[in-house]
Amino acid sequence: MQMIPTMGGVILLVFFLFKYAGGDPAEIIAGLQASAEQVESIRRQLGLDKPVLEQLWLFVQKVVVFDWGRSWATNESITHIFQTRLPATLTIMIPILLLEVGLAIVAGMAVAYVRGSLTDRLVMIISTIALSISFLVYIIIGQYLFAFRFGWFPVQGWSNSLWTNLTVYAPLPVLLAVLVSLAPHTRLYRSFFLDEIGHDYVRTARAKGVAENTILFKHVLRNAMIPVLTNVATQLPGVFIGSFLIEVFFSVPGLGREVFQAVGRSDYPVIQAVTIYLAALTMVINLITDVLYKFVDPRVVLK
């Protein structure tokens, strides 16, 4: 129920932000050399000459029926843009999410297992150094080493084959994105596991002679899953937005690159649609995460 007023607030914010802070769409589309009559004609075609409340109602209708019309720059249906660009984005985003979460959990658990040792300190030092390096540096060095020098992967490109994309074009951007995210997530998950290791039930299990591996993987991991799920839920929109940069630098014809181009050409309908649906996706992810808490920890009560 909280999603309803939240979504209403997002719709109002996006509408008025583009209405009063984004410039006159008719002038942007018409160009600098257009006459006043041409600008006014475009304004009527877009419905910008109507009262503000009527424009807001039409905007809400677009959100509800999933029909945003056509792109101002390319005249392509926005529904078609989502249908054709989203698969490429998911081809990059899903492997990144699965690998970074899985590897970070394993790495965090391993570092927590050897807590206080030289290995633990070295991993933390390396993670801190990796955190201080910009993602752009990873991209530049990664393209130079793995593409130009070694020739293992193509620098850019995409195809119509999912298997070709996963095995040829996606590995390099996925590898670089996972390397960037592994350091902060390893540190974070390590803190989650260490917090659980310090609880009384762990000391009790050790006093009863339970093996350390059993304690870590059967008890500590399960109890630490709530903060892990919370972190995954908060990072999902970030992974989606982070793929925008990857798509631009690796020429992936995904939704992120489309949004980047739409910003450059002031293609408001595309930007508005992505903004609204990204907000809705974030709320749905948070709702699913709340429900998953109950399955991870039976003590959680849903109200």
**Which pLDDT tens digit goes with each residue over 261-273?**
888 777 888 888 8
Residues spanned by CATH 1.10.3720.10 within the chain? 85-296
CA within 13 Å, CB half, 58: 13
Report pLDDT for 158. Answer: 84
Q: What is the reported pTM?
A: 0.77
What pLDDT does residue 31 have? Answer: 66
pLDDT of residue 39: 73
Per-residue pLDDT of 179-216, as tens digits, reads 888 888 888 888 888 888 777 888 888 888 888 778 87
Residue range 58-68: average pLDDT? 82
Computed over every residue of the chain, the mean pLDDT equals 81
154: tokens are 């193509």
Q: What is the pLDDT of residue 302?
A: 63
Give residue 23's pLDDT: 66
Cβ-count burial 219-228 (b if 16+ within 10 Å, e if not): bbbebbbbbb
Tell me how far the alpha carbon of residue 219 is from its chain's centroid: 30
Percentage of residues in the chain having pLDDT higher than 70 = 93
Q: Which CATH number fits domain 85-296: 1.10.3720.10, 3.40.50.720, 3.20.20.480, 3.90.25.10?
A: 1.10.3720.10
